[in-house]
Structure 1
Amino acid sequence: MSLIKSISGIRGTIGGKVNDNLTPLDVVKFASAFGTWLQNNKNKKDLTLVIGRDARISGGMVSSLVTATLQGLGINVVDLGLSTTPTVEIMVPELKADGGIILTASHNPKQWNALKLLNEKGEFISGENGAEMLAIAESEDFNFAEVDDLGKYETRDDAFDIHIQQILDLPMVDVEAIKAKKFKVVLDAVNSTGGIAIPMLLDKLGCETVKLYCEPNGQFPHNPEPLKEHLGDICELVKKENADFGVVVDPDVDRLALIDEKGEMFGEEYTLVAIADYLLKNKNGVAISNLSSSRALRDIAQNHHSEYFASAVGEVNVVTLMKEKNAVIGGEGNGGIIYPDLHYGRDSLVGVALFLTYLAKENKTVSELRAGYPSYFMGKKKIELTPEINVDDILAKMEKEYQNEEVSTIDGVKIDFENNWVHLRKSNTEPIIRIYTEAKSQEEADQLADEIIAKINSLI
């Protein structure tokens, strides 16, 4: 079963059985539910939605289904065509639309697609709103428009230009300083829409772009999640081209990974760390990430006499806490940069521009920049439990077991020790506890996970 219905959207594999996969009928049902939810919650008759898609093979088909469904409800559609998640997020308020749908399965392989749902601010809908939408989908209580009231359809081809110009206009992006350096950048866009948007940005910043997998045809040449084991080709090309660094984005361009001039991974966790370092050097404030992100961000914030807070895992939770704390910068350790002076969404384009500014001003190589940050190593393991075991009880026992340490229970149980941490999160679908650790060495991180697994087993 590969259809995942969550509060933030609908994700599944193309083809197969209705209700088990993301079939055309499922696409129509959930597009109808979201459109109906908007109509129920807006005190106006004439609604407009912005849609855009990444380059995956099923995108055209899914886009046609979503567009026709929304028009059938009487909702106007502005179609950006091939786009990025942050670009659609920018364009919803830019066009004063009532919401948006991004057709992308993010870092999932090519057989997947999804409908990601945005409110009128261009931000992911809340958990409460998502639950209401799913209830409508379950009831199939849809009321489609009569022929004279069908929604209008228009396309826009200027969305990337608008998005990029807003980035160039940011005070913390120093266009002239970047242009003076004439950086040479290798880009791996995994044959999706980053291959259109990122070169446009780099060109405006006076950089030379060496393109690798930048043809937006949806044929992903490697696993599209930007992890070290998938990125051997760009690591080699950065060295071969004698480039200043490499940029890797996922298919919908909301995650940013960097490669240093030696062809080594900068570390996805450290994308956010470096950009926060730049921003907090210039303005004291608050930095936010989630509980499973690196402690390095906390260290950097403290170095700059700024504050750090951690949210529950999930972009919606990060954004909620950023607004509450009026954060200067936030994001997730997977390379997701959220810069509120632009918008409240993960955005690789603004991440590239801010990183380039910092690199230009520091007058260091990327590897020298990385060497200045504390080094942490992460481990990820899991413990599989039998169905009769109450996972919540186990987590409560772990909280009590480590009550003398710094413990957070806003999302599972996170235990902060002096030199390392462990985060325990239960699966929503299986009797599994996922165990995330971080320490000063990989061996220590893995050893901590093994110790925690042993402790859990002793409590069962």
Structure 2
Amino acid sequence: MLIESLSGVRGIESELTEDFIRAYAYAFAEVCPPGKILVGRDTRQNGMAIITVLLEALKNTGRTVINLGICPTPTVQFAVEDQQAAGGIVITASHNPLPWNGLKFIGSDGIFLDADQMRQLKERRIELNKEAFIQKGNGAIETYHRAVDDHIEAVLALPYLDESLIRTAGFKVVVDAVNGAAYRAVPEFLRRLGCEVIELNCNADQPFPRNPEPLPENLLELNQAVLRHKADLGCAIDPDGDRLAIVSELGKPVSEEYTLVLAAKLVLSKFPDSAQKVVTNLSTTMAVEDVARQYGASVIRTAIGEINVAKKMREIDAAIGGEGNGGVLLPEAHLGRDSLVAAALILQLLAEKAKSVSELMQELPHYEMVKLRVSRGDLDLSDVLDELKQLATPADLDLQDGIKFIWSDRWVHLRPSNTEPIIRIYAEAKNAALAQEAAEPFVAFFTELSK
């Protein structure tokens, strides 16, 4: 199923035809300001065929196009901004398994195109698919091999990092890059920080030996490797290198919801009582608020989607932002989710506190989340808002992305899927049973409606 959404374009190999890719290349070249366009990809083998078509099409629009090769999505985002490029394209389907692939589009500011820009891009792509492709100019294809190195240097230079302190700590880290785009970047970055690195699934030739989502149930091999090597930390990366989940020294996976919580704790500790701002989406753990409160900071919630977090961060000059899927955005690096940035901030926190991951987690508030799906057919949530309100009396209600019912100790977020006829129901509370209990009236409501 071909998906064209806020996060870009995704489809299986047979759907990503040469004409489809050319149309998007021509459309993107039209909407970008003057200048060069950068292209990178993850390790999916069909990415080589896609990048060949994409580079040639962009060249035929008269653009100079720079092939960055295999590199993480945040590397391309950083490079666009660092090299003052007109835009960038990443060939990836993120956490989708093989044979999926896709395209992500980056503006000249280094952040993804927003909903309006993606809508315009899709409309122009459809028009171009009906036209003959003609060579509009004589551009050029160039190759740049140092994008990952530039990215590593930039993260090492972050003001929050004390490289000598991290080196003195002498961390041993197991890295599971799922043989994805960060297979070289993350291990090399950690070694630059003086870490002893054990590589697991860091081979670009054999992508995705496990389920590519860095969720606890997919990290058994990493858990075992952390224990076997007596490591301080395990790092699990997603296929395009923008998300990080960690495993404690006890071989226990930490929910990726807490990647942002730990990173925010480090950043906010540098600005105590200075009214800093943290931006995250509506479905991220409320532990973010608890940590922010410790340092006199406030949390601003946005609709789901990295672009929404990035735009709000830029608007209000936030100290840090991210999402509960293991994504951390730090403005001093660039406004995109970045596994290198997330790893750096967590290592700095471990070094400063001189505590293990499990000890740090014991100090944080503990919540558990349930994620459910119910059929919605053609139902619009706004049509049943009044009825839904009768199911619960929340302390607060947020309507910016679906409906979120908020209490002091729990919340339930109802959000229609953009790609399936379902409603996603997320609920969080002190334990899974309470979260399930909070979600149950809404599950029952939609189940009854669908009969």
TM-score category by the smaller chain? over 0.9
Tell me the residue number matched to 1:80: 68
Partners of 2:204 and 2:380 lie apart in 1 by 46
Tell me the residue number matched to 1:440: 430
Which secondary structure state, in structure 2, belongs to the residue aligned with residue 195 of structure 1?
coil
Structure 2 counterpart of 1:367, from 350, 353, 358: 358
Kept in 1, the 8 Å contact 2:388–2:442? The answer is no
Partners of 2:214 and 2:428 lie apart in 1 by 20
Q: Structure 1 residue 175 and structure 2 residue 163: aligned? A: yes
Q: Structure 1 residue 423 and structure 2 residue 413: aligned? A: yes
1:404-415 aligned at under 5 Å gives the runs 405-415=395-405
Partners of 2:300 and 2:81 lie apart in 1 by 28
Kept in 1, the 8 Å contact 2:410–2:427? The answer is yes
Partners of 1:391 and 1:173 lie apart in 2 by 45
Go from structure 1 to structure 2 and tell me whether the alpha carbon gap of 1:144 and 1:173 turns closer, same or farther (over 3 Å shift): farther
Q: Structure 1 residue 33 and structure 2 residue 30: aligned? A: no
Partners of 1:51 and 1:335 lie apart in 2 by 24
Which secondary structure state, in structure 2, belongs to the residue aligned with residue 360 of structure 1?
helix
Structure 2 counterpart of 1:214, from 186, 202, 218: 202
Kept in 2, the 8 Å contact 1:287–1:328? The answer is yes
Structure 1 counterpart of 2:26, one-letter code: S
Structure 2 residue runs without a partner (length 5+): none
1:248-263 aligned at under 5 Å gives the runs 248-263=236-251
Q: What's the offset of the Cα at 1:314? A: 0.5
Tell me the residue number matched to 1:450: 440
Deviations, residues 194-243 of structure 1 (Å, cap 9, x unaligned):
11101110111001100101001243111100001111001001000000
Go from structure 1 to structure 2 and tell me whether the alpha carbon gap of 1:341 and 1:399 turns closer, same or farther (over 3 Å shift): farther
Tell me the residue number matched to 2:299: 308
Q: 100-109 vs 400-409, which deviates more?
A: 400-409
Which secondary structure state, in structure 2, belongs to the residue aligned with residue 28 of structure 1?
helix
Tell me the residue number matched to 1:320: 311
Structure 1 residue runs without a partner (length 5+): 16-20
Q: What's the offset of the Cα at 1:395? A: 3.5
Q: Structure 1 residue 134 and structure 2 residue 122: aligned? A: yes
Go from structure 1 to structure 2 and tell me whether the alpha carbon gap of 1:70 and 1:274 turns closer, same or farther (over 3 Å shift): same
Tell me the residue number matched to 2:211: 223
Kept in 2, the 8 Å contact 1:254–1:348? The answer is yes
Structure 2 counterpart of 1:341, one-letter code: E
Q: What's the offset of the Cα at 1:95? A: 1.5
Go from structure 1 to structure 2 and tell me whether the alpha carbon gap of 1:396 and 1:51 turns closer, same or farther (over 3 Å shift): farther
Kept in 1, the 8 Å contact 2:376–2:446? The answer is no
Partners of 1:360 and 1:7 lie apart in 2 by 38
Tell me the residue number matched to 2:92: 104
Q: What's the offset of the Cα at 1:381? A: 1.1
Q: 421-430 vs 448-457, which deviates more?
A: 448-457
Partners of 2:380 and 2:204 lie apart in 1 by 46
Aligned residue pair count: 445
Q: Structure 1 residue 298 and structure 2 residue 292: aligned? A: no
Partners of 1:386 and 1:153 lie apart in 2 by 47
Which secondary structure state, in structure 1, belongs to the residue aligned with residue 347 of structure 2?
helix
1:347-426 aligned at under 5 Å gives the runs 347-387=338-378, 389-399=379-389, 402=392, 405-426=395-416
Kept in 2, the 8 Å contact 1:32–1:142? The answer is no
Tell me the residue number matched to 1:331: 322
Kept in 1, the 8 Å contact 2:77–2:111? The answer is yes
Aligned-residue RMSD, C-alpha: 1.7
Deviations, residues 127-153 of structure 1 (Å, cap 9, x unaligned):
11111111111111677435xx31111
Go from structure 1 to structure 2 and tell me whether the alpha carbon gap of 1:162 and 1:416 turns closer, same or farther (over 3 Å shift): same
Tell me the residue number matched to 1:3: 2
Q: What's the offset of the Cα at 1:427? A: 2.2
Structure 1 counterpart of 2:255, from 264, 267, 274: 267
Structure 1 counterpart of 2:59, one-letter code: Q
Structure 2 counterpart of 1:200, from 169, 188, 195: 188
Deviations, residues 65-94 of structure 1 (Å, cap 9, x unaligned):
110110111111111101110100011122
Which secondary structure state, in structure 2, belongs to the residue aligned with residue 380 of structure 1?
strand
Partners of 2:390 and 2:297 lie apart in 1 by 31
Structure 2 counterpart of 1:306, one-letter code: A
Partners of 1:263 and 1:27 lie apart in 2 by 43
Q: What's the offset of the Cα at 1:428? A: 3.0
Structure 2 counterpart of 1:23, one-letter code: T
Q: 49-58 vs 426-435, which deviates more?
A: 426-435
Kept in 2, the 8 Å contact 1:52–1:81? The answer is yes
Q: 198-207 vs 398-407, which deviates more?
A: 398-407
Which secondary structure state, in structure 1, belongs to the residue aligned with residue 67 of structure 2?
strand
Q: Structure 1 residue 22 and structure 2 residue 16: aligned? A: yes
Q: What's the offset of the Cα at 1:193? A: 2.3
Partners of 1:386 and 1:359 lie apart in 2 by 47
